[in-house]
Amino acid sequence: MVTCGVVGATGLVGETMIKVLQDRSFPSVSFHPFASDRSEGKIVRYRNIEYPVELLRPEAINKGMILFGATSANIAKNWVPMSIAAGALVIDNSSAYRMDPDVLLAVPEVNGYLITGKENIIANPNCSTIQLAVALSPLRQLGNIEWVSVSTYQAVSGAGTPALEELKRQQNGTLPANAADSIHENIITSIGPPDESGCCCEEVKLMNETCKIMGTDFPVFAATARVPVRTGHTEAVVVKFDNIVQSNEAVKILLESPGVAVSEYGSSPLDVENTDIVIVDRIRNNPRDPSVLQFWVVADNLRKGAALNAVQIAEQYIAAGSV
Ligand SMILES: NC(=O)c1ccc[n+]([C@@H]2O[C@H](COP(=O)([O-])OP(=O)(O)OC[C@H]3O[C@@H](n4cnc5c(N)ncnc54)[C@H](OP(=O)(O)O)[C@@H]3O)[C@@H](O)[C@H]2O)c1
């Protein structure tokens, strides 16, 4: 039994984290919701008990406490070092520590065996990366992957509470002056501004984090877009192997893979909202190249893409025996 806390408990990931902890009967003896001074004192319900939102101060942290981070990267850089110093395990959803070579970036179905129970921080990957890694990793049984191309259609909740509120405002008729700022009935083809290479930050995360989690160095070509969907990220994936592969073999492998459901035709974000599964849909060989597989991957970005994956990491950490 552990003491746990959610930092950013009033945000989309934090609220989902609280639901997932309850759904999975997480073995906590006490619970603390933390957020900014904007939310201090606001009431959060956990297992039918009302908890006032607190500010995270060093005296609120106990040795052995598990802190689930659901704040932006800049905010995480303020509270994570203090929490580690006080003896907590931090499982952080932000991008702040994901590519730190000393920090494990974990998707339990893929590299959960690396969790020792002795970490002081484990990073939770980007939402679009998690569902890609869950679908891709088992397919390595078919042969060596030469490259992967992924195009994403990402839900607005992936950008947090302000973005979802903006979508609702635009759906109700308050449109921005500049069409490029409109997400309602639109597609935004750069998630974050492009860097000097021309890639946006979401593309860089998919390219780098996928290789770190899978322990591979094949190229991942990513193109990411925001679409006017509330929740559920959709990805069109192309995988090139160095040998001929059969799509029916891929189906068999994925049917036996943890966390994956296989669908023949037409899965959508509405199918996955509030669920824990990663759906791999319409798996097919490319008609021109038998060493290429194509499929869609759909998952709830707030659950498997964030909160569920973080809670699974904590469960594995506890099972590894240090708490
Ligand atoms: N949304 C997704 O699908 C998703 C998926 C994977 C990873 N992530 C990552 O998860 C993190 C949270 O995302 P989100 O979508 O939940 O964002 P969000 O809805 O905007 O929530 C942000 C949370 O951070 C809190 N916060 C802000 N300043 C703080 C401070 N100084 N101290 C403590 N808490 C503070 C906010 O509290 P107040 O209410 O008091 O402002 C709120 O609870 C981000 O790093 C994001 O990149 C998100």
Cβ neighbours of residue 57 closer than 8 Å, sequence gap 6 or more: none
Encode pLDDT of 21-56 as tens digits.
999 999 989 999 999 999 999 999 999 999 999 999
Dihedral Cα 32, 36, 37, 39, nearest 10 deg: -70
C-alpha closest to that of 69 among 42, 47, 97: 97
Q: Among the listed ranges 124-133, 154-163, 175-184, 268-277, which one has the minimum average pLDDT value? A: 175-184
pLDDT of res. 321: 80
pLDDT band at residue 150 using 50, 70 and 90 as cut-offs: very high
Domains of the chain: 2-124+306-319 (3.40.50.720), 129-301 (3.30.360.10)
pLDDT of res. 177: 87
Quick check: CB of 70 below 6 Å from ligand 1? yes
Q: How far is residue 131 from each of residues 79, 95, 128, 300, measured CA to CA in Å?
A: 28, 16, 6, 9
Cβ neighbours of residue 102 closer than 8 Å, sequence gap 6 or more: none
Q: What is the mean pLDDT of the chain?
A: 97
In the chain, which ranges are continuous DSSP H helix?
12-23, 73-85, 108-111, 127-136, 161-171, 201-214, 247-255, 269-272, 308-319
For ligand 1, atom 39, name the residue with the nearest CA: 10
DSSP state string for 225-276: EE-S-SS-EEEEEEEEESS---HHHHHHHHHTSTTEEEESS---HHHHTT--
Q: What percent helix, strand, coil does the chain show, rounded to 5?
A: 35, 25, 40
- Is the pLDDT reported for residue 141 higher than 90? yes
pTM score, two decimals? 0.98
Q: How confident is the model over 241-259, as a mean pLDDT?
A: 98
Cβ neighbours of residue 95 closer than 8 Å, sequence gap 6 or more: 73, 126, 201, 205
- Is the pLDDT reported for residue 276 higher than 70? yes
Quote the crossing angle between the two packed helices 12-23 and 308-319, to the nearest 10°.
50
- Is the pLDDT reported for residue 181 higher than 90? no
Residue type, 10: T
Quick check: CB of 71 below 6 Å from ligand 1? yes
- Is the pLDDT reported for residue 183 higher than 60? yes
Q: How confident is the model over 234-239, as a mean pLDDT?
A: 98
Quick check: CB of 129 below 6 Å from ligand 1? no
299 contacts 109 by C-beta, under 8 angstroms: no
Q: Whole-angstrom Cα distance, residue 164 to residue 178?
A: 18
Give 6 Cα–ligand 1 centroid separation in angstroms: 10
Q: How far is residue 318 from each of residues 74, 214, 311, 314, 322, measured CA to CA in Å?
A: 28, 22, 11, 6, 6
Dihedral Cα 18, 22, 24, 25, nearest 10 deg: 130
Atom of ligand 1 nearest to the CA of 301: 3
Give 46 Cα–ligand 1 centroid separation in angstroms: 18
Q: How confident is the model over 247-255, as a mean pLDDT?
A: 98
pLDDT of res. 266: 87
3-state SS, residue 91:
strand
Q: How confident is the model over 142-169, as a mean pLDDT?
A: 98
Atom of ligand 1 nearest to the CA of 14: 16
Give 162 Cα–ligand 1 centroid separation in angstroms: 10
Give 110 Cα–ligand 1 centroid separation in angstroms: 25
Q: Whole-angstrom Cα distance, residue 235 to residue 321?
A: 36
- Beta-strand relationship, 260-263 and 278-286: parallel
- Is the pLDDT reported for residue 121 higher than 70? yes
